[in-house]
Amino acid sequence: MDYKEVIDNIYNEVKPFFGKGRVADYIPALANINPKQYGIAIATLDGQIVGTGDYQTKFSIQSISKVFTLAMVVRHMGGDLWKYVGREPSGTPFNSLVQLEHEQGIPRNPFINAGALVVTDKVMNLYHRPKEAILQFVRSVAGNDDIYYDKMVAQSEFEHASRNQALGHFMKSFGNIDNDVDSLIDVYCNQCSIAMTCEDLAKSFLFLANHGTNPHNNENILTVSRSKRLSALMLTCGFYDESGEFAFRVGMPGKSGVGGGVVAIIPGKLSIAVWSPELNEHGNSYMGIETLERFTTNIGISIF
């Protein structure tokens, strides 16, 4: 399969859709991004890397970071994590509070903000220096040490984090957060601010396509079973209240972020990352989803 030709064609088909979505503006540092950027990268398990458009431009990975912290925690805690966070799609927006009171401060899944905060709280319990540990994990799965926090984005989000603060305090009132909420929000805003390219992101999800083993250094990160479970969660919860629609249109486990990135995998084969900062009404990249739908349709391969 000539993946370069496939993505070049899709790039040209989807490019006219600039202007259909809106850049996230609730984090001021993200509101200033040039919306007319668009890149696609594919990394395959047999070592090919192809890209098109702005695939080597760094952007804020935002909620895609939730997959990395979840992998770090599942690796150490295994099934014990599921006492603190559920595994069901929420059907609510990423920053929703509504289910928490009814469900005793246990978030529905690890990819809505409430669930991701519980996971980051566990990272803080597991690692003495959590920010260093997260960065080190991301660099290792990406096979690239040139990955950093974007301190301006982290600071900007921290200053506008009332909603996430509320989620943290509310869960703490149920005893489901161990650390100080301000420190938790600081680590969380940093993990969301990590700046990566489409190429980095495609490479960094290969360990999931490879059933839990990092193909860059052969390190086993997750067992086959845990890797399957993490991918299942991406399929059912990775796009919040658009997860069903994403599975229906695209047919790959994936994860989005409000920076406009989307990453998805075909287990045993490849990982693909798309970036376009304009978001749809669910906070997912408009052109990212459009691109991935065309990708699985054109190559005739999905997880189904």
Q: In whole angstroms, how close is the CB of 149 to ligand GLN at the nearest point?
A: 13
Distance CA 210, CA 138 (A): 16
Distance CA 170, CA 105 (A): 7
- Contact assessment for residue 42 and residue 271, using Cβ atoms and an 8 Å cutoff: yes
Residue from the set 192, 222, 265, 287 that interacts with ligand GLN by CB under 6 A: 192
Distance CA 195, CA 282 (A): 22
Q: In whole angstroms, how close is the CB of 29 to ligand GLN at the nearest point?
A: 11
Residue 62 lies near ligand GLN (rule: CB under 6 A): yes
Residue 157 lies near ligand GLN (rule: CB under 6 A): yes
Q: In whole angstroms, how close is the CB of 208 to ligand GLN at the nearest point?
A: 18
Residue 242 lies near ligand GLN (rule: CB under 6 A): no
Residue 106 or 192 having the CB closest to ligand GLN: 192
Residue from the set 44, 63, 69, 213 that interacts with ligand GLN by CB under 6 A: 63
Distance CA 286, CA 266 (A): 21
CA torsion 136-184-64-29 (nearest 10°) is -100
Q: For residue 159, say whether it is annotated as part of any ligand binding site.
A: no
Q: Indicate the pairing of strand 22-23 with strand 278-279.
A: antiparallel
Residue 283 lies near ligand GLN (rule: CB under 6 A): yes
Residue 231 lies near ligand GLN (rule: CB under 6 A): no
Residue 97, classified by CB atoms within 10 Å of its CB into exposed (0-12), middle (13-18) or buried (19+), is middle
- Contact assessment for residue 105 and residue 114, using Cβ atoms and an 8 Å cutoff: no
- Contact assessment for residue 195 and residue 60, using Cβ atoms and an 8 Å cutoff: yes
CA torsion 75-76-79-84 (nearest 10°) is -110
Residue 90 or 164 having the CB closest to ligand GLN: 164
Q: Which amino acid is at 68?
A: F
Residue 258 lies near ligand GLN (rule: CB under 6 A): yes
Q: For residue 3, say whether it is annotated as part of any ligand binding site.
A: no
List C-alpha distances in Å: 204 to 219, 227, 268: 13, 14, 15
Residue 257 lies near ligand GLN (rule: CB under 6 A): yes
Q: For residue 193, say whether it is annotated as part of any ligand binding site.
A: no
Q: In whole angstroms, how close is the CB of 62 to ligand GLN at the nearest point?
A: 3
Residue whose C-beta lies closest to ligand GLN: 63
Residue 7 or 153 having the CB closest to ligand GLN: 153
| Tokens linked to 10 | 């899709």
Q: For residue 98, say whether it is annotated as part of any ligand binding site.
A: no
| Segment 79 to 118, residues that bind ligand GLN, using CB under 6 A | 94-95, 113
| Annotated binding-site positions for substrate | 63, 113, 157, 164, 188, 240, 258
| Annotated binding-site positions | 63, 113, 157, 164, 188, 240, 258
Contact residues for ligand GLN, defined by CB under 6 A: 62-63, 94-95, 113, 157, 164, 192, 257-258, 283
